[in-house]
Structure 1
Amino acid sequence: MSRCGYIHTLVLTSDGRVYAWGGNGLGQIGCGDNTEYICTPNELHFGDNHKIKSIHASYGSSFAITSIGHVLSWGDNRGHELGLNIDDERVFKPRLITTLNGVKELCYINAIKSNEDKTIESFHISDVINKYKSQFIEILTIESGGFGTVYKVKHRWDDKIYAVKRIQFEDENTKYSALNEVKMLAKLDSNFIVKYYDSWIEDPELYIQMEYCTQSLRTVIEDKPRVFGRQSVDTSNTKPMDIIEYFISCEIFRELLQCVQYLHELQPPIIHRDIKPENFLISYNGNNRFIKLCDFHLATNQDRTALTRGVGSPKYMAPDVGLSQSYNFKVDIYSLGLIGFELFEINSKEYN
């Protein structure tokens, strides 16, 4: 029996021995360390006289089922997919999942990847039985719009809170945009970007598991006058900002700029193409940053190909995009400028 992950391979021999080789950056080989590549088959040792019956490989994680139905796991644990109830992001040796027994089969959805020419690879999903309902408790609907619904959920195994976006594949364009968002989130591991944990398909819908953030910049902009005592019951009578609110607004805008700067300094640069207050989330993560950018279904790499497609939210769209003219990463900066008008309560019409 052989199983292949994204860049690693597992083999089970007729006498119950397991070998692994390939990429090991996440510990998926199970050799005991994070040596980046294992170029020859490495025999794994499971201890306690475990007799392995079957093996399974996901994107960066590995699993083995014993003859008596116990499960061992190792590798990538950033989304707690190993079922070990630990906070370690990588596990370098097979560990027993103590809460499981009598297991006959294991089904797992690999992370969705793109190939070198930037087209989305075809995929076929089978044996998936409602992972969303079996692993998560739905708490409330955060947002529902033209591109999916976002839920606040609690994981049944560790009680941690996440956001899960559910996108229905209504047509090929929706499908491409949804898979493009997964592709972007999977490679953007940064404090400037909302954290991505996992993605899977329950036909005909895509689910994306992400970091949960309590509110968006839109909420901050709307609540700021009231919080600082500038807005009376008559909302049309709003006083000017004081120095403290102005300073805080400057700090918020600085973090917005940093988020977009991070994308534009990548090689090749990434253009978000839907910069608006709703797509900046507020995260309380203890690292002296609060603003994170989300929603990458319209994002694209800026390469040598001229971009002319008119996409995004009309209110924050640069004229070049709206007129389907050739454009580059500067269209994101234009959108940031319009957000600045709202944040500092400047009448943009005066600036034409």
Structure 2
Amino acid sequence: MFGLNVLFITSDDMVYGFGNNSEGCLGLGHNSPIPSPELIPELCHQNIQYFVNGMNFVIAVNAVKNLYGFGTNTCGQLGRNPETHRSNQKPELIPWFTDKNVVQISCAYVHVLALTGDGRVFSWGGNSFSQLGCGHPTQGWEHMYIPIGFQFEYPIQSVYCYTSTSFVITSSGHVLSWGDNSCHQLGHNISGVILKPKAISTISGVKAITSTEFSTIFHTTNGLYLSGLFGDMTKPIKSPKPIPCKLVVQQMLQINSYIGDNNEYTNYNNQFIESSPIGSGGFGTVFKVTHKLGGKIYAVKRLQFADSNEDTKQGVLEEVNSLSKLDSDFVVKYEDSYLESNHLYIQMQFYSQSLRTVLIDKAIVFGRQPEDQMTVFEYFTSCEIFKELLECVKYLHESDPPVIHRNLKPENILFDPNFTSNRCVKLCDFGLAIDHNIHRQTVSPFVHTVCGTFGYIAPEVLMGKQYDHKSDIYSLSIIGEELFGIDLQDWKLIEAKKLSFKKCIQSIYGTLLDMMSTPFWRQRPECREVLAKHNEWSIDKTVVTKQNNFHEVFNTLKSNDNSVFYEILFRKTQ
């Protein structure tokens, strides 16, 4: 909270506060400083879910979306007439919202925005810069304590308000803003006051907004965009401009200092319990951590910038940029990134299993000795994994702009135990990923860049020659060899196999050879072309379910500690 105050809720639904209590913003009935936690009776047993604070005022929201306001009310920001209620030193219900189904609240210095479940936006409080969007500013002695409602043409996804500015993001990722635009912090190429909600025509795909008194950062699917007066600039950026990926670390630290009050992860050690390192990815070490509030587990990559060279810093920034743009079931979800004490933290979803661990367990789980041939069940499972892996890489290659992973290996292929969208395979570790401009005749910036993991690197990359996204296809062929237990150098081995699905084995053998094609790497097939022949190299699920021992194998897999194989067989044969 502003002014060094703390509010918290205990597991038995009791609410406490302590701090300097300016303007009575702790809701204790007075404005004296409180050095240790003190009970707030009016909020106890109200099932309070969260607090939103402005400058010396707070709005508490409970489970049934009732709003309680306390603190200063000089501009009507608590929804009460300031002429009769200059402050609420005890929490009071804001009755106007008891039936409005409020889903989000945002508080600024003296004004508030609320978003309801039916997409309406309400504003109230101070309006000196028309930040309420009513069409005109008001004098200091005029107050707008009765909420003003807006019904926009498009569904509204979220609302944000800052010092004297207001923003809404539509479900399609567009932004409307209004209020003080003296430094172009609203993203409009006109200075002064914007009286009513006005669309920003120059950006789209906006996911979140962070603002200060003079500048705004728009977090979009295409990276960060900046508008306004930032840092030591003498002239403002008049409309949103992209922040280059090569943004120096000092600038990132400056951004972080501005948005720190809005970032719930500003103190890593206070927010997380660090369990153990779970691997080393591009440019950093990955830790399994548990969030202290709620117990949710995450994977956090940590890099110490103080000892890093410029290439390493650039690589990490590119990974953050890549992760923020890739929002799909095909990749590990990027949660957040933040700078603290010369460390950059990248917070992601946590998954305990990689393809490496699956490959280690697979033969054992299916009861196969190294010299034995795969059963129809193991081959079917391998096909389903390879199919999903191809779909993941296809997503990268067909993104706009296309993305080359450049470090595909079993350790960077993870398994989702929840099978979100009936999928289990996800890609991670984008520290070496790059955008590829398909309109260039060459990929000149990367012609001589050797990167990746030895054994999975395409020969053209290893030799420092020209390459493109087909280098990922080569890596997939090596992974395919391991997954299907095939030695591409031994055709006689394939000929010798006496299996009911021998034709499928021969088809995947030929497919992997095509994917490995060297030196004519441009002839390697696209992922979509390999997927188009899925019915040639895979086994139909009916063949699997009609096996006499299907239920026996099914129950054996179900009882195994590694549930991945059971889940794949169960879900993919339905």
- The CA deviation string for residues 47-93 of structure 1, in whole angstroms up to 9 with x for no partner, is xxxxxxxxxxxx836699xxxxxxxxxx99xxxxxxxxxxxxxxxxx
* Separation in 2, partners of 1:130, 1:214: 26
Work out whether residues 281 and 429 of structure 2, in 8 Å CA contact, stay in contact via their aligned partners in 1. no
- In structure 2, do the counterparts of structure 1 residues 17 and 168 end up closer, same or farther at CA, with 3 Å as the change threshold? same
Distance 1:227 1:139 in 2: 28
Deviation of the 1:250 alpha carbon: 0.3
Aligned length: 273
Aligned pair in 2 of structure 1 residues 60, 117: CA closer, same or farther (>3 Å)? closer
Alpha-carbon distance in structure 1 between the residues aligned to 2:159 and 2:275: 33
The answer to whether the 8 A contact 2:245-2:317 is kept is no
- Mark the structure with the bigger radius of gyration: 2
2:378 to 234, 239, 245: 245
| Partner in structure 1 of residue 278 of structure 2 | 142
Residues 1:269 and 1:146: Cα distance change in structure 2 (over 3 Å): closer
Hey, what does 2:349 align to over in structure 1? Answer: 211
Judge conservation of contact 1:255–1:291 (CA < 8 Å) in 2: yes
**How many Å separate the matches in 2 of 1:136 and 1:181?**
22
Structure with bigger helix share is 2
Match of 1:119 among 246, 254, 257: 246
Measured against aligned partners, the alpha-carbon deviations of 1:118-165 in whole angstroms (never above 9, x if no partner) come to 433532347679611111111222113673211111111121111111
1:281 matched residue in structure 2: 414
- Whole-angstrom CA distance in 1 between matches of 2:160 and 2:247: 27
Query: Does the alignment pair 1:296 with 2:405?
Result: no
Name stretches of at least 5 consecutive residues in structure 1 with no aligned partner: 1-9, 43-58, 65-74, 77-113, 232-236
1:166 equivalent to 2:266? Answer: no
Equivalent residue letter for 2:469: F
Report the residue type matching 1:17 in the other structure: G
Alignment identity in percent?
A: 44
Aligned equivalents of 1:29, 1:265: Cα separation in 2: 33
Structure 2 Cα separation of the partners of residues 26 and 135 of structure 1: 27
Which of 169, 178, 181 aligns to 1:40? It is 178
- Over the residues paired in the alignment, what is the CA RMSD in angstroms? 3.3
| Other structure's SS at 1:27 match | strand
The TM-score normalised by the length of structure 1 is 0.69
Alignment of 1:90-109 (within 5 A): none
Give, in whole Å, the separation in 2 of the partners of 1:138 and 1:188. Answer: 26
In structure 2, C-alpha distance between the alignment counterparts of 1:198 and 1:174, rounded to whole Å:
19
* In 1: Cα distance, 2:208 partner to 2:352 partner: 29
For structure 2, list consecutive stretches of 5 or more residues without a partner in the other structure. Answer: 1-106, 112-124, 134-154, 181-206, 213-217, 220-240, 491-512, 517-574
Amino acid at match of 1:155: H
Map Cα deviations across residues 6-63 of structure 1 (whole Å, 9 max, x no partner).
xxxx97479x837389xx9751426797443224229xxxxxxxxxxxxxxxx83669
Q: Is the 8 A contact 1:310 1:321 kept in 2?
A: yes
Q: How far apart in 1 are the matches of 2:132 and 2:458?
A: 51
**TM-score normalized with structure 2 length:** 0.43
Match in the other structure for 2:318: 180
Q: Distance in 1 between matches of 2:211 and 2:177?
A: 20
- The alpha-carbon distance between structure 1 residues 20 and 326, as it changes in their structure 2 partners (threshold 3 A), is farther
What amino acid does structure 2 have at the position aligned with 1:287? Answer: S
CA–CA distance in structure 1, aligned partners of residues 330 and 282 of structure 2:
25
| Matched residue, 1:153 | 289
Query: 1: distance between equivalents of 2:431 and 2:401?
Result: 17
Provide the secondary structure at the position in 1 that maps to 2:289: strand
